[in-house]
Structure 1
């Protein structure tokens, strides 16, 4: 803009120089997209991530909250995100502490799992929510509001009594507790977050109560400084250096609002068209007689019934009806097109947002596979931001408090090793999926644990359950196709091999069965 004004100023005095400047500018702006025009506004964003969010974040967050409260599509979208990112049982944690020789210390792993299961019943400060409920609520807040916070209550805390044997709890906080307008640049505080010169978070400055609480004052509230080591801040960031998180639906808010308004208009129009409205046309103006002074025009009413013949019209009158061709036949096509765009911007799938599953098998599977990639990305971010910090802080406190005794043969460097398992892509065709996994395991390209995790089962728990089940069946003399070894070698109670031989020596050949369960004799 400044360059153009300068060109116009020097053009009358040095037209050649002005022409050269204009030519140079056109060469620099060689990309057509960089040239503003009547049809292309070329809107640009030159501010930093924090500067762009400062005036907009609160409005966007409040709009998304209002839509979730009042818009069924938004409620359903976040419900599906809860299901696919966290799931009903929450993010499963499978501890993998190793010995110095690299093998898994199963006994200590079982002790960690038992303590973790006990803590998962009441992990948060109020004691009202279980760990899966906490994870779903935090995930929903993270995606809806753009961020969520939790203060870790570790060890002895004044005025608080821990509800579990491990002195560790979480105080869940909405992002409103972190004031967006609290800035002190001299002390490195931007939007309530205090950082050092290398942008490492040092502390969070939190309000002592929610600014929207009943009876609370939205202005003039005091804050408290909480060290970063005591806080967990999960944020949905889109730019490098972004201080606060942005809601997942920030780019599709206008479309969602348009759909809601358009559907409301169509519903009102449909209600109007459903009401039969009639009028009486008087004919020519000469047929209409004005009532005299002091007189009122007589009110006429007609009773209608199916199949009746109406013959009470005056000369020159005729009956007409007010028709409305609503709802519009284009409503569904417009709505579906908008929902596809919303699904693209919300890292979801059209079928999930619209709850429409009328496509072909191939199309549904392709959509499921591509959509699962988006869910997996959010799931890994949730694990990195939330699950792993929570589990490690809890385990550290469990060991420090003496609730868990670290065995001498456990490598301390592997203490926090764990496998985190969230919801996986459901099987569309179980027969084909099971056959594919079986071939992969037989060929050595996968293991049994991977198959168990693909069905959202804990491998060690599944193994223990199968061992107990097979043992009970053998003790009861039951033979099922799932016990392939029992079928193949005809093992009866008390005949299990104990010397490592492939086949027990004392099994009668007459009772041996083959892999199909058929007996074979000599």
Structure 2
């Protein structure tokens, strides 16, 4: 049965009814009034790509400027590298298995040794400039600063493994290339997407757009790189997103004004420190100079413990400067708190300010901040290291650098990445809590070893070797403190009482 259209009167009633209901139940944050006019001007109904495309280049260049000139952005990048990558990088632990499902120690040792050799400077990337740790530091900083980073997987590279990496700035991913291809695929800011919005290829400019020595074009201005050869990484913000933007986007404006205020306040304070006062002329005592005459010079050299007599007609007025202002430090601190909230690390770490911090607040802040770094560590593993290891292992086995049967490739792909860990906030209390957890079987020894950034298998092997060496030398392997005899205990109690 065909549905009858509502009459004009009915439609008018519906509009009025919905408007009335909306007024009663509307969100306060969605109301439009004179108080929210500025907010209305900042909203946009565009999709993620439209919003990013409009401001992408400006955000990236301003973020790079602040990475050079802002001490706090520099500190943010340094904290990321120290806590996400660490001094040893994210360590590879092979978990290769035998066909029977047991640990394949021989294959694990071979894979880990080959990976360590590959991770050395001169082997890891195509330029020969970066080791594994240096490459990760550069990758993390580029990702945070620019909001996106590209790594090309170069298979068939002329080295022992037939494989190397090339890190690329996303300036080469043509931001202005947007097209609908004849096959139905779409190109959004240089990224070719299928109907499911899965990246298929990347259109790179043949040279960096900022390079003054551009090569002549050869068969077009783009290099089309298939998606299985290029890792384009950014932190997702909205669905349908094809490009990323700087991690400092929510803090840059506030930090810019904060830096300008600091600079102006420092200049004013410096000016006030250099300028001691003014000499004023009294017209009753001194005639103004003629056209060809100049004011008499007053000697202003001052030494400690001396006084000066001013000429007739002059009086000295001291200059009183109120810079730095009394609210300078609280204002800077409050601004940096907002900056830290937009970046991720705690205010105390970002600003190097431990004033007024007690143990409880420091512990709470450390645990929260470490969770942030752990999330970034897992992001690095899932977005970069898993793909790099799989491609490296395949090429190393095909190239003969890793002598293992290629038919068992799937079993050798089982790995565990061990990021850096941190020392305990309160070693005595945390160690006691760990011992209780192990005794109660709620946590394992391996868990706490991994929390420290070490490989449990390596630690257990080292303990076994150490205990064997102690036995060979006739030394005790017990870790319990020596027990005292009753007489020794009585003597200790009498000594303590005295």
Do the structures match in fold with TM over 0.5? yes
- Correspondence for 1:466: 463
CA distance in 2, matches of 1:47, 1:395: 43
Report the CA distance shift for 1:296/1:75 in structure 2 as closer, same or farther (over 3 A). Answer: closer
User: Is residue 2:303 matched to residue 1:305?
Assistant: yes
CA distance in 1, matches of 2:173, 2:445: 45
SS for the counterpart of 1:380 is: helix
Q: Retained in 1: the 8 A contact 2:394–2:409? A: no
1:181 maps to which of 155, 176, 179: 176
2:164 maps to which of 134, 156, 169: 169
TM-score (norm 1): 0.82
Alpha-carbon offset, residue 224 of structure 1: 0.7
Report the CA distance shift for 1:26/1:330 in structure 2 as closer, same or farther (over 3 A). Answer: farther
CA distance in 2, matches of 1:151, 1:111: 26
- Give the gaps of 5 or more residues in structure 2: 1-10, 486-498
Q: Retained in 1: the 8 A contact 2:266–2:324? A: yes
Q: Retained in 2: the 8 A contact 1:237–1:246? A: no
Q: Retained in 1: the 8 A contact 2:286–2:312? A: no
Report the CA distance shift for 1:292/1:403 in structure 2 as closer, same or farther (over 3 A). Answer: closer
The aligned runs of 1:22-33 (5 Å cut-off) are: 24-25=18-19, 27-28=21-22, 30-33=26-29
| Most deviating of 111-120 and 425-434 | 425-434
- Correspondence for 1:94: 93
Alpha-carbon offset, residue 302 of structure 1: 4.6
Alpha-carbon offset, residue 218 of structure 1: 12
The aligned runs of 1:491-510 (5 Å cut-off) are: none
- Correspondence for 1:14: none
User: Is residue 2:225 matched to residue 1:229?
Assistant: no
Q: Retained in 1: the 8 A contact 2:207–2:215? A: no
The aligned runs of 1:195-344 (5 Å cut-off) are: 195-216=193-214, 222-283=221-282, 285-292=283-290, 294-314=292-312, 317-344=314-341
Q: Which runs of 4+ in 1 moved over 6 A?
A: 17-20, 217-221
Report the CA distance shift for 1:441/1:25 in structure 2 as closer, same or farther (over 3 A). Answer: same
Alpha-carbon offset, residue 76 of structure 1: 0.8
Q: Retained in 2: the 8 A contact 1:150–1:231? A: yes
SS for the counterpart of 2:34 is: coil
CA distance in 2, matches of 1:292, 1:112: 93
SS for the counterpart of 1:55 is: helix
User: Is residue 2:135 matched to residue 1:134?
Assistant: yes
CA distance in 1, matches of 2:47, 2:179: 17
Q: Retained in 2: the 8 A contact 1:192–1:206? A: yes
Q: Retained in 2: the 8 A contact 1:94–1:418? A: yes
Alpha-carbon offset, residue 21 of structure 1: 5.7
| Most deviating of 432-441 and 266-275 | 432-441
Alpha-carbon offset, residue 383 of structure 1: 1.0
Q: Over residues 426-473 of structure 1, what are the superposed CA-to-partner deviations in whole Å (9 max), with x where a residue is unaligned?
A: 311112222222222222222222222111112222223222222223
Q: Retained in 2: the 8 A contact 1:108–1:407? A: no
Q: Over residues 31-78 of structure 1, what are the superposed CA-to-partner deviations in whole Å (9 max), with x where a residue is unaligned?
A: 222122222234322111101011211110111111011111110111
- Correspondence for 1:421: 418
Q: Retained in 1: the 8 A contact 2:278–2:316? A: yes
Alpha-carbon offset, residue 247 of structure 1: 0.8
CA distance in 2, matches of 1:404, 1:298: 88
CA distance in 2, matches of 1:477, 1:223: 71
The aligned runs of 1:54-65 (5 Å cut-off) are: 54-65=53-64
The aligned runs of 1:48-87 (5 Å cut-off) are: 48-87=47-86
Q: Over residues 362-386 of structure 1, what are the superposed CA-to-partner deviations in whole Å (9 max), with x where a residue is unaligned?
A: 0000011111121111111111101
- Correspondence for 2:373: 375
User: Is residue 2:363 matched to residue 1:365?
Assistant: yes
Report the CA distance shift for 1:425/1:305 in structure 2 as closer, same or farther (over 3 A). Answer: closer
CA distance in 2, matches of 1:519, 1:300: 86
1:431 maps to which of 428, 433, 453: 428
CA distance in 1, matches of 2:125, 2:317: 67
* Count of residue pairs the alignment pairs up: 464
- Give the gaps of 5 or more residues in structure 1: 1-16, 488-514
Q: Retained in 1: the 8 A contact 2:285–2:312? A: no
Q: Retained in 2: the 8 A contact 1:379–1:422? A: yes
Q: Retained in 1: the 8 A contact 2:151–2:232? A: yes
Alpha-carbon offset, residue 101 of structure 1: 3.8
CA distance in 1, matches of 2:338, 2:293: 62
Report the CA distance shift for 1:464/1:262 in structure 2 as closer, same or farther (over 3 A). Answer: same
- Correspondence for 2:190: 192
TM-score (norm 2): 0.86
SS for the counterpart of 1:279 is: strand
CA distance in 1, matches of 2:346, 2:481: 44
- Correspondence for 1:154: 155
